Structure 1
Amino acid sequence: MKGIISYGAYIPYNRLQRKKIGEFFGKSGLSGEKAIAGYDEDSVSMGVEAALDCLKDVNPQDVDTVYFATTSSPYKEKGSVPTIAAALNLKKNVRGIESASSLRSGTSSLMAAKEEEKTLVITADCRIGGPSGQNELWFGEGAASFLIGSGEDVIANIVDAGSLQGDIISQWRSQKDDFTQNWEERLGSTSFLKQIKEALPPFLEKNDRTVESITKVIISGEGKRSHTQAASALGFQKEQIQDPLLEVVGATGNAHAPMMLVSALENAKPGDQLLVLAFAEGLDFILLEVTDAICGLKERKGVKGHLEVKNDQVLYSDYLKWREIIKIEPPRRAETDRPSAPALYRGSHQNLSFTGSKCRICGTPQFPKQRVCIQCQAKDEMEDYRFFGQSAKITTFTIDHLAASVASPIIAAIVDFDNGGRILCEVTDCSPEEIEIGMNVEMTFRRLFEAKGISNYFWKARPIRERESV
């Protein structure tokens, strides 16, 4: 029986308090906060971070297939799986499938994974709601990832799954829309309740389960109250309802139900029964049973770890600049021109997987790749060496107030890796007041810039804070 072997999640460091949105428009603010991707993050970079969390202690070369599910791809026409596969150091012949358009793409990808293969499912979304609207208040950003397969390592068996299709105009974004649009919320809620009442009772009966036997029900539906309405309609009690994370993260689109599933697995015990319900133009439902193997799974950052580390002082004006909703004065320095396609192609393995070289003679790691060792001058005695995952420290840094960035000032630093090697890179998720020499950092996959519609990705340093040392 196929099931989940491992899981991971990513929640951006930056959080926007909803009351700040209300204050901007002169309205009373709502409670809670939502996670927002930084100026250098998108669905691809967040998906990579969640997958890296999922693949901890897993050989990436063992992955046979990768699904990437999002409604907010950086491109309308161009795949993102090759970028993701390179960043994760997956094998070159890994099968790649991109699942888009529907908010059920993530759960549908989980169901589509084959038992005889190791499938990496990555879900991520970075949706934008129109300023002053309900979507802006409740949309959050983040990613979740699962490794699906079979065998003794499975921590949660997928007992059964199904779908119910139902075309409904409830929430949509056309090719021409800048923001997600909504019909009256009541229409979506009514359809959701009708579908779960139709699909779930026979599904539970088919699998010899009752409402009382379900440990946690994970519900991603229309609006803020859909999970409680649906749970009540089915007869679930309050303690059975998985926290939808709306007050601390927001509704994360394709990643919403998967992220809630990660949160449930973080606290699950062998024998627990988990039921996933995801609504969007129909319904996906998945029944899982937790196995004894979950006791041996090493801790991930997951949802719990990311929630504990945050910057909740982000200004609403910063959010508007990062999403290019408002125009700002052009940078003093010339804007970056379109990146060279041949250069990106030649350096894709080195730059996306963060792979340098290591001298076979003296053992010195170095980045970028070299033919001649900078230490012993041996020629053509190099082997590939991946810097990701290596502990590192800030050796020196500078703060650049003139950089062409929507998040000025930029922190540039020399980073020394404890096992050897040095790199000049940007430092992200860090304030100028916080940066210091000797600071412990880790590498994180980010979007450097977008020029002429082309996104350029590389690795930046990020401070390791107490809870991030998992």
Structure 2
Amino acid sequence: MLGITGFGAYIPQLRLPRSAIVNANVWANPSIAHLSTGERSMANWDEDSITMAVEAARNCLHNIDRDHVKKVSFASTTFPFVDRLNSGVVSSALNLPNDSHSADLTGSLKAGTSSLISALESTMKDSKDLHLCIAAEKRLARAGSLQELSFGDGAAALTLGNSSNNVILAELIGHHSITDDFVDHYRAQGNKFSYYWEERWIKEEGYLKLIPESINRLLENCSVKANQIDHLIVPLSSRGVPQRIASATDISPEIISDNLWNDCGDTGTAHPLIMLASELEKAKPEKKILVCGFGQGADTILLQTTKAISDFQSRQSLSDSLTNRREENNYLKFLTFNGLLEVERGMRAEQDKQTALSALYRNKDMLLGFIGGHCQKCGTSQIPKTRICVNPNCGAHNSQTDERFSDKKANVMSWTADQLAYSIDPPAHYGMVEFEGGGRLMVDFTDVNTDEMETNMPVRMVFRIKDIDEQRGFVRYFWKASPYK
């Protein structure tokens, strides 16, 4: 038996009400006035597809031995790097074994479901090895466009394995794919925004032909009847289309999963997996889930939950991630965070932020993996790890073993809200934190407001963008402290 052994998802805290977008742009495009309901998820300035992928994977890998993860596939159409292994950055941040295989998948919105199919097919029947499948998206759109209103930022992660050495939460029954160069939209190299064709044509010739065809072939190949399906996942925001797809395949419209339009919007390649995580969180055993993906063709995947699904708990559920929200009504801040509005940053922002790649590589365990040290002689934990123990009563040389600090809880010892230092989201918050079990470090704080900060406040570590070298196009990552919720 092959299938899903773990799952997790992540939606950024910030939520931009669609009414804020409509109010700012309805003067130029009155046709968007009726789209002001609900909200879309909004990545913070220091979040991108890599940081969201790391957070989703951390939620997925909770209580899973990371040494068994030997393959990583990362799907996105918004990778920060064109010529750097983005999944390699994710693997380093997660402290996965360096003998694992990592790959980036892109080029289509169904890259998420295609990645899931490839991961299931590559799972060895008699191996303990797990395949980590991640999808994340942070898409840009023109101001006032339908895409800006419908898009959302988010990520999802799944681990795949076999039943010989793993607990299967959802068994693979079968899958089917169609490849067809149906160009509903495209984005050429160097362009910020995708170009979209006429919506009605996309519905009639794309969604309503390719997806039903793939569903029907899948059900036929698996000898499963339409009335045996318990949950139908169609990751489309077009109103009425999922119902028409269900009708075309004799599936009851009542079992169509919530597309999360009101809560976060369409998260691109990640959306089928996010919707799957949403269903798995509340699914009962022995339920059949049909997952669809669309983009220059269609993917369909049929899964059946097992009895083990009732006992699974992720580090943070998708429902928790959706509930843990902060409303952001400032539309100009949204544009600024996404680099769509050029603002005056002042002289303090004028500095060379070149990253010494040799130094980054030498210190990647600490900078990306957030690895500290634990003294085997006196038991002192510290970060960063050094050759000499920081305990003044010890001072042992070369006595430290690696210790992962990324999952440790911490408390704020001191903090500063700096209005002088440049920050894209002023003021800049930073201070000293003390980790549970020992170790102190000066860090930046993120996802906070000044009136929320206080000493002894519990925080957790999150993988974020430290800064961006705009001159050379390099993104530097590090760990920051975020309020523990």
Shorter-chain TM band: over 0.9
Contact 1:14–1:37 (CA under 8 A) maintained in structure 2: yes
Contact 2:236–2:266 (CA under 8 A) maintained in structure 1: no
- How do 1:196-345 and structure 2 match up within 5 A? 196-221=211-236, 223-333=238-348, 334-345=350-361
CA distance in 2, matches of 1:243, 1:313: 24
Q: 2:140 aligns with which of 128, 149, 153?
A: 128
Q: Scaled by the length of structure 2, what TM-score is found?
A: 0.93
- How do 1:18-417 and structure 2 match up within 5 A? 18-27=18-27, 28=33, 30-113=36-119, 114-116=122-124, 117-151=129-163, 152-190=166-204, 191-221=206-236, 223-333=238-348, 334-375=350-391, 376-417=394-435
Root mean square deviation of aligned Cα:
1.4
Contact 1:331–1:405 (CA under 8 A) maintained in structure 2: no
Over residues 256-294 of structure 1, what are the superposed CA-to-partner deviations in whole Å (9 max), with x where a residue is unaligned?
Answer: 000000001011111000001111110000000001111
Instruction: In structure 2, list runs of 5 or more residues that go unmatched.
Output: 28-32
Shift of 1:26: 4.0
CA distance in 2, matches of 1:336, 1:318: 24
Shift of 1:89: 0.6
Shift of 1:389: 1.2
Structure 1 partner of 2:30: none
Over residues 382-430 of structure 1, what are the superposed CA-to-partner deviations in whole Å (9 max), with x where a residue is unaligned?
Answer: 1111111111111110001122221111110211012100011111111
Q: Aligned residues, how many?
A: 465
Local SS of the residue matching 1:64: strand
Contact 1:222–1:279 (CA under 8 A) maintained in structure 2: no
Over residues 140-159 of structure 1, what are the superposed CA-to-partner deviations in whole Å (9 max), with x where a residue is unaligned?
Answer: 00000000011150100111
Contact 2:93–2:369 (CA under 8 A) maintained in structure 1: yes
CA distance in 1, matches of 2:155, 2:111: 13
CA distance in 1, matches of 2:114, 2:301: 10
Shift of 1:336: 4.1
CA distance in 2, matches of 1:388, 1:351: 11
Local SS of the residue matching 2:456: coil
For the pair 1:17 / 2:25, whether they are aligned, the reply is no
Bigger CA drift: 311-320 or 53-62?
Answer: 311-320
CA distance in 1, matches of 2:356, 2:239: 45
Letter in 2 for 1:60: R
For the pair 1:453 / 2:473, whether they are aligned, the reply is yes
Local SS of the residue matching 2:451: coil
Over residues 122-161 of structure 1, what are the superposed CA-to-partner deviations in whole Å (9 max), with x where a residue is unaligned?
Answer: 1001001111100000000000000001115010011100
Contact 1:14–1:314 (CA under 8 A) maintained in structure 2: no
Contact 1:221–1:278 (CA under 8 A) maintained in structure 2: no
Over residues 420-456 of structure 1, what are the superposed CA-to-partner deviations in whole Å (9 max), with x where a residue is unaligned?
Answer: 0001111111111111111111100101111021111
Local SS of the residue matching 2:141: coil
Shift of 1:20: 0.4
Q: Against the structure 1 CA distance between its residues 129 and 224, is the aligned structure 2 distance closer, same or farther, given a 3 Å change threshold? A: farther
CA distance in 2, matches of 1:59, 1:426: 29
Bigger CA drift: 43-52 or 373-382?
Answer: 373-382
| Identical counterparts, % of pairs | 34
CA distance in 1, matches of 2:321, 2:212: 35
Q: Against the structure 1 CA distance between its residues 326 and 207, is the aligned structure 2 distance closer, same or farther, given a 3 Å change threshold? A: same
Q: Deviating runs (4+, > 6 A) in structure 1?
A: none
Letter in 2 for 1:185: E
CA distance in 2, matches of 1:18, 1:84: 31
Local SS of the residue matching 1:306: helix
Contact 2:85–2:103 (CA under 8 A) maintained in structure 1: no
Q: Against the structure 1 CA distance between its residues 416 and 300, is the aligned structure 2 distance closer, same or farther, given a 3 Å change threshold? A: closer
Contact 1:332–1:402 (CA under 8 A) maintained in structure 2: no
For the pair 1:418 / 2:432, whether they are aligned, the reply is no
Bigger CA drift: 136-145 or 406-415?
Answer: 406-415
Letter in 1 for 2:449: S
Shift of 1:331: 3.2
Letter in 2 for 1:434: E
CA distance in 2, matches of 1:310, 1:110: 28
Shift of 1:188: 1.6
Q: Against the structure 1 CA distance between its residues 281 and 179, is the aligned structure 2 distance closer, same or farther, given a 3 Å change threshold? A: same
